[in-house]
Chain A
């Protein structure tokens, strides 16, 4: 029990620490990977709270997602390495205010919400995986399928928009060799 609380706290602090690094660094790749490790720490919190599947899934998904975000940040920012001395932040007052308000709301909700009875003992990991599968392919199936199709449609639409109109087989080959 105490060990569990200890590890949840350690990973929680790690998540916050890496979260701070995201905004303290000017290097876009560092920022993206700090966010990655912040999310990994959240995944470790899941593991410490005995939700093995969710923890492993979180740790797996974030590695690829944040890496892809890193290359997009390098592509679109003017000073991706942070070595040009550019200030990469803006709207500081507004964001500090918004951050403080959001943190306050989260803390109030955490303490005042009725979370229901606490489970005395978590079911074992294999049972959890099974229950999650049943949930995903039962009651929640429609929601997840809708979300999945929506994301797929958005991806196809974004790709279609990005392709130049005059693309022919020849010009596509030319692009490859460049």
Chain B
């Protein structure tokens, strides 16, 4: 039952995000647009490029969708509303999201196209920038909760949310999450206007539809992870717990969208340089500060 509810919540959030995305780009609020464009994708011809790596080409969009849903499976909407409350939840979400990289390499290599391939390998380079900034802030979150269980992590933020307790970790995680979801300004693997769509370039029709759905689901999963790890998850007054989880998740997702709209695309070398020379030392500092707080403050 939880499985169905969480999946529906995920789908609903994706739909809302797609509506908001359309609103910010076209200026018109059209609730039916995501559905219509999805149907249009189904109706269009889905072209397979010449001499593709067929297995990779077909698997990549589906794999991306699966890992996004798997990541969401360990994130609670309410104290009991979680698909799998694993003892290693905070690690599991890392494991699931590591396959975003694999899916993008497949999508890049599969179509046998230059732009796609550059996009795919570029995301592998980007891994060096964002991976540590995903894992290290989560480490600090787990240190405070003294657990990897996601429901316990939310429980540990009962009095004080992690965004206040470890703001540095929040900022680093938020940036890294945007890079992992390859949203603007970190949309280097797709880079419209520079790589002509990159990993998206050779996908059409139903395959492109799945790819788009997967990307939006990934954004929602990462927004939900931000909510669980830093924004107190289901905690909040008056409204029921699940409502708070959804509101916060959507707020984070929309803030990612807006950040992307008003910032120029970052250069690949700059992203890596800043993440390594600034991001990682700050993440270490965050771990030390949280460690001291955990030991000193009862």
Give A contacts to B, CB under 8 Å: 27, 29-30, 33, 36, 52-53, 56-57, 59-60, 63-64, 67-68, 70-71, 74, 81, 83, 124-126, 128-129, 176
Contact B149 A64 (CB under 8 A): no
Q: How far is the CB of B284 from chain A (nearest CB, A)?
A: 14
Determine whether the beta carbon of B91 is less than 8 Å from that of A60. Answer: yes
Assess whether B87 is in contact with A124, with CB atoms less than 8 Å apart: yes
Known: A53-B87, A63-B98, A81-B53. 19 other contacts (CB 8 A): A27-B53, A29-B53, A30-B53, A33-B105, A52-B86, A56-B91, A56-B95, A57-B91, A64-B98, A67-B101, A67-B105, A68-B124, A71-B124, A74-B121, A81-B112, A125-B86, A126-B87, A128-B87, A129-B148
Interface of chain B, main secondary structure: helix
Q: Residues of B contacting A128 with CB < 8 Å?
A: 87
List chain B residues, Cβ under 8 A from A83: 51
A-B residue pairs in contact (CB < 8 Å), sample of 6: A30-B53, A57-B91, A59-B95, A60-B95, A63-B101, A64-B101
CB of B109 within 8 A of CB of A60, answer no
A33 to B53, CA, bound (A): 12
**Cα distance, A128 to B148, chains bound together (Å):** 12
**Are A63 and B87 closer than 8 Å at their CB atoms?**
no
Contacts of A125 in B (CB 8 A): 86-88
Write out the residue numbers on chain A whose beta carbons fall within 8 Å of the beta carbon of B88: 52-53, 56, 125, 129
**Contact present for A64 and B127 (CB under 8 Å):** yes
B55 in complex: contacting residue of A30, A68, A71, CB < 8 Å: A30
Inter-chain contact A53/B91, CB cutoff 8 Å: yes
